[in-house]
Structure 1
């Protein structure tokens, strides 16, 4: 028994000392994360994976270190007080392109991108890339006082899975277009886009689980594949009653039963960034309540349009859903 225990400790220490892992037949990112004492989201970030369910046999995964910093474009031919402007050379579908200004004072202005306008806040702009945005190069207009700067952002495709979901008749009846639009408007409208930034540093996971049952961006069909939408957040497979906690500081925007999303909570984190938590069995906060990262906001459940107990977590930037995984390790 003693010899076996020593062998187990040595094997564990050796595994943790590895910096890479080669994917073997039948392995999943969840199992690999368990083996090395890490998380699926961290492996996603370290290896720039858009779909944790799609691995290749023989693929080499990084296990440690910091997520790679994407290459940036840089311009210095800008009016004072701007010293430089940086933006990513390419951004994955569903991720966030961040424009950063180096300046001696606050830069006034706004940015137009994909038909929407975004203010310059704290000398940066968060540009959400829709998960269904076609790959390509798109223009960006930076409007400063009396001057317009033209840029381009390249959107690259992610490797997202496709699900055809079978719902019980009583739950399928929830898919009413007018109801879906009205509920989405309520969710988006629950956050004040002019609120100053509330969070600081990287975000926390809202549930203590490493089991992702449905990642962000999965293409979904509820009508046998005739049409597809996409999954707007991350689903964690947890039992009913699992504590759900605030991932970052903010103000509760919405806390009520919804038709499709079940018992739901939104948190306004400022700078147009809002998080959402759906299908709860119990809501433990009220609108207007200030919360800190780690505060209990509800208990997971299976309410609304749900086909099993889980906790849904999403992040929207001015109404556009973005991949929450990177916010745990590289929050803007």
Structure 2
């Protein structure tokens, strides 16, 4: 019979229709949930002050639109400091992406070993093509997870020692040492490389007895600033080194701490410079640290100055520098100063900063300002010693005018130009606050003021840093 449908068939068709309709509703919902879950997996980044979405996108090699889509941002121009956003396109990487400064003395290999990071993650995050690109002072991206704990350094592989001997020496399994340090085998490590373990080792006094650490006070280094290298050792040692081919002089304060100071020239080209440090203890154990160190620009301004033409003569400048430089390079081994340097005048007011690129007399000379100038703001013209030291020069010069140099030891010298009167003589030992002389207008000067310098191994550095911070 045509046109007739059995009630059971009608019921089945209705049931299928209902189920199909429900499926249409449910499946997109599940797909949306799956996509959302997929989007929510991956590393996140915490927005820092001053950052824009474009800058973040460039840093991670993605587009702003990809970040907007991954985070469902409704107003990408209203990012909050501290806001955590998902970074797409970094499959396999988890945790919070943090920007850190690469320390001196750490290789890419030891960084990966200590933090349990795969090389592929660091290469992808920082777009590395060679381990040599790891420059001390450069910023690198670093994933941090909740369960991530740094491994503990136990030993630097010594020349003539094997991984097996090292493992036995520190009391760990050689197989665990291979696994914890991502080694292909017990043979896959070179002398001088740092080794780590996943747990602390009680009674490991031998390694602690021979430990030494090297740190740099401020990374990245900055044009015109002070470089301080510190070595903390557990037993006496000797240290030597170079920075960009110039020798580093190390001195000890008698407490198994060793320091070297170096001036970064204000006109140094920004970039990476080689640093090498070699330490040797009394038993002849030597550690060799060699790495490129980043020097960043100081972003100094410009100033036009008009002075007497005689003080701008190239021959006069060269002759005066040839006379003063040997005095500055006579480095003495005793540190005379203690604590922070004091301001050299009463009521200090600065009218010209260190590092300014200067044009003298409409281009007759182009140079930079090697100190900071204090105008006369106090009811006196007094100039005081900022720290303990010994007077090594006090005389009249053409460019510097009436000038004083004070040796504070360890290569640190302070300078005072353009004085009207001297109150000290060469050989005098001065204490903080002792009267050195009076502010004047002698030499290359455009008016009464004190030109104040801090000079390290012959290189002027920003004196404000020594007035603000305590060295060492």
Interval containing the TM-score (normalised by the shorter chain): 0.7 to 0.9
Q: How far apart, in 2, do the equivalents of 1:176 and 1:320 lie?
A: 21
Whether 1:183 and 2:183 are equivalent positions in the alignment is: no
Q: How far apart, in 2, do the equivalents of 1:133 and 1:241 lie?
A: 38
Q: How far apart, in 2, do the equivalents of 1:297 and 1:279 lie?
A: 12
- C-alpha contact 1:244 1:297 (8 A) present in aligned 2: yes
- C-alpha contact 1:241 1:281 (8 A) present in aligned 2: no
How do 1:17-36 residues align onto structure 2 when only pairs under 5 Å count? none
Whether 1:208 and 2:346 are equivalent positions in the alignment is: yes
Deviation at 1:113, TM superposition (A): 1.0
TM-score relative to the length of structure 1: 0.73
Matched residues, number: 260
How do 1:5-24 residues align onto structure 2 when only pairs under 5 Å count? none
Whether 1:125 and 2:260 are equivalent positions in the alignment is: yes
Deviation at 1:228, TM superposition (A): 2.5
Out of 143, 151, 172, the residue aligned to residue 278 of structure 2 is 143
- C-alpha contact 1:107 1:120 (8 A) present in aligned 2: no
Q: Could you tell me which residue of structure 2 aligns to residue 92 of structure 1?
A: 222
TM-score relative to the length of structure 2: 0.52
Larger CA deviation: 180-189 vs 271-280:
180-189
Match of 1:232, SS? Answer: coil
Q: Could you tell me which residue of structure 1 aligns to residue 334 of structure 2?
A: 196
Match of 1:173, SS? Answer: helix
Q: Which has the larger radius of gyration?
A: 2
Q: How far apart, in 2, do the equivalents of 1:235 and 1:243 lie?
A: 14
Q: How far apart, in 1, do the equivalents of 2:419 and 2:466 lie?
A: 22
Q: Could you tell me which residue of structure 2 aligns to residue 107 of structure 1?
A: 237
Q: Deviations over 1:131-173 (max 9, x none)?
A: 0111112110113345532023211112211122223xxx212
Q: How far apart, in 2, do the equivalents of 1:278 and 1:301 lie?
A: 9
Whether 1:262 and 2:401 are equivalent positions in the alignment is: yes
Change (3 A) 1:199 1:181: same
The structure with the greater share of residues assigned to strand is 1
How do 1:224-239 residues align onto structure 2 when only pairs under 5 Å count? 224-225=362-363, 228-238=366-376
- C-alpha contact 2:265 2:459 (8 A) present in aligned 1: yes
Q: How far apart, in 2, do the equivalents of 1:113 and 1:199 lie?
A: 25
- C-alpha contact 2:262 2:457 (8 A) present in aligned 1: no
Tell me, which stretches of 5 or more residues in structure 1 are unaligned?
A: 1-69
Tell me, which stretches of 5 or more residues in structure 2 are unaligned?
A: 1-99, 106-152, 157-191, 193-206, 253-257, 281-285
Q: Could you tell me which residue of structure 2 aligns to residue 73 of structure 1?
A: 103
Match of 2:409, SS? Answer: coil
Q: Could you tell me which residue of structure 1 aligns to residue 174 of structure 2?
A: none
Change (3 A) 1:233 1:176: same
Out of 285, 289, 294, the residue aligned to residue 154 of structure 1 is 294
The structure with the greater share of residues assigned to helix is 2
Using CA pairs under 8 Å that are at least 6 residues apart, name the structure with larger relative contact order, 1 or 2: 1
- C-alpha contact 2:104 2:293 (8 A) present in aligned 1: no
Q: Could you tell me which residue of structure 1 aligns to residue 303 of structure 2?
A: 163
Whether 1:282 and 2:411 are equivalent positions in the alignment is: no
Match of 1:269, SS? Answer: strand
Q: How far apart, in 2, do the equivalents of 1:139 and 1:71 lie?
A: 17
